[in-house]
Each structure stands twice: as C-alpha cells, then as structure tokens.
Structure 1
C-alpha cells in the first residue's frame, strides 16, 4: 500500500507510464470525451474533487513541461491560469475551446473531476525528470 501521493491505482499507473511529450488532460464534468480515449473518472459529486485539487495532486508526481488551456478559461478565471503557471513554471499555451476539444484524441487519458465550472480543463505535456 502506498503511503502518500496518488492513491487511485489506474491514475498512478498512467502517470508512471507517460513519456516525454505525451499528453494527459484534467477536465470538468462537462467536457465531451472522444470515443476511444481512456477516462479516469474521479467525479464524486458536483465540485468534488475540484479541478485545482486534482491538478495539484497530479503535479506532485508528474513532471510537466507545458500546459494547454482554452482562451475562455483565461478570460473567465485568470486566477486559475496564474495558479497553473506558478505550479508548472511556464506561461502555458492558449487555444479556443473548440481547438482544445479537437486535441483530446491525442491525449493518453482524461481525468474527469467533479468540477462544476465551465472551461476548467487543462492538457498537461509530460516532461522529463533529467536534463
């Protein structure tokens, strides 16, 4: 049994298996997930777990070199984008919500949260722990 970190077995496995440049998304409850893309569904009830709670937990174990969010998140919740910038250490990339959804077939997995706020979605780009 693990003592700390991500306790969800499948999510822990996905993070351990990600290679440099591979993508994993964290999503609100409403984001449509394309057929064939694995979903790790953590949603328990509206708001639980929250988007930032899940992101922060993933970022304790995953080396991330960049992130992608929709322009709509930046305009509606700039504090969330600033939080991601601080945690990841990059400015991030911004695309339309439509383009964000079109990128989803390229992610290894989507982690669905209980987030009940529109546009709270991010795609993390895996980095490497060595230089």
Structure 2
C-alpha cells in the first residue's frame, strides 16, 4: 500500500483508463445513475468534496461543471491553481446528458443536495509540451499553463 494513493481497486483502475476529455461524474448519494454507466459506488462514506479532494491529487482536469452554488466556493478553493475552467450545469443537464456521457460515475455517500460535479479529464500541460518535444501547444494549453503559474482562482462561466 502506498500512502496518499487510491486503495479502492475499482476506482484506481477506472481512473487509469481516463483520456483527454473523458468525463468523471462525482455524485451525491441520491443521483440517478444510468444503468449502463461505469458506476463506482463508495456509498456509506465519503462526501462529494472528499472524493473531489482525492481526485484533485490524482488526475488533471480542464473543466469542472457543477450545479450546487454553496459547493462552488469549496470547489474554487480546491481547484485554485489547477488551470481548470468552471462551467455551470443544471441538475437536469447533469442527469439527462452528462451522466450518459460520463466514462465513470463515482457515487459518494453525501446527503448534501445536488452535490454533483462533472470533471473533464485533461493532460498535464507542462509534461506534454516541452522544449524537447518541439511541438507548440494550442492556445488553450498556453492559457491553462498561465492560469496554473498564476495560481488563478477559477470563476464560474
């Protein structure tokens, strides 16, 4: 076992399959998860924010979508300096659209209403575009790297 790593074998394995633009949906206990979804049920514990804190240390995220205004402040603090952009998504959009697009849905044990957050996976903008690679990043990657360098606090778009 390795400290500060994900020990849940199904969750660790699912995260290892993520590619650029794959969606990870972290939900509260009552979210209606589609029957065909890759569901990782953490059930009893932890809270949505606990899961998001672990994921923040594990995967690169380029976009965060949520529909819970009070949770937004905690997400701002958690994702400051990550370069992620924030987008609002209604609960209906998360249930109707994003849940069916998500590669992984992680159900937390949270009873915090509408504490559902979609993370759009990304790549490390520093590792992929180095001087040695000779490849120039797209403007979106340049902007993300600058937000990370500047430790920018994400704002809701």
* Bin for the TM-score computed over the shorter chain: 0.7 to 0.9
1:53 to 50, 68, 81: 50
1:112 to 103, 107, 113: 107
1:123 equivalent to 2:106? Answer no
Partner of 1:28: 28
Partner of 1:86: 80
Residue 87 to residue 6, structure 1, CA distance change in 2 (3 Å): farther
Q: Distance in 2 between matches of 1:118 and 1:88?
A: 26
SS of the equivalent of 1:100 reads helix
RMSD of aligned residue pairs (Cα, Å): 1.7
Q: Distance in 2 between matches of 1:58 and 1:87?
A: 15
- Structure 1 outlier segments of 4+, above 6 Å: none
Considering fraction of residues, name the structure with more strand.
1
Counting only pairs closer than 5 Å after superposition, residues 52-71 of structure 1 correspond to structure 2 as 52-70=49-67
Deviation at 1:83, TM superposition (A): 2.9
SS of the equivalent of 1:24 reads strand
Q: How many residues align?
A: 125
2:95 to 97, 101, 113: 101
Larger Rg: 2
Partner of 2:148: none
Q: Distance in 2 between matches of 1:95 and 1:109?
A: 18
Q: Distance in 2 between matches of 1:11 and 1:59?
A: 14
Q: Distance in 1 between matches of 2:72 and 2:21?
A: 25
SS of the equivalent of 1:36 reads coil
Q: Distance in 2 between matches of 1:23 and 1:41?
A: 16
